[in-house]
Amino acid sequence: MNALAASGWALGAALGLSCLELRRRLELVARAEHELRGPLTAVVLGAEALARAVRSATPAEGRERRRL
């Protein structure tokens, strides 16, 4: 019975370590996502503003912009 109990404790410890590692990875990914969200939002908003400006430009403005 001692061997069975010891193997149970070893399995429990291994599972606990696996859970801690998974939690650490998830926290790292969450932090990275949070750090990237701001710059990516700025890029998306800039691209949307540019698309709106191009759509609302008159044909003459479009030719002038292409010339620049």
Cα 42 to its chain centre, rounded Å, is 15
This prediction has a pTM of: 0.54
Give yes or no for residue 60 having a pLDDT over 90.
Answer: no
pLDDT at position 57, please? 72
C-alpha distances (whole Å) from 7 to each of 10, 15, 37, 56, 60 are: 5, 12, 45, 71, 79
Question: Count of domains in the chain?
Answer: 1
- Please say if the pLDDT value at position 48 is more than 70: yes
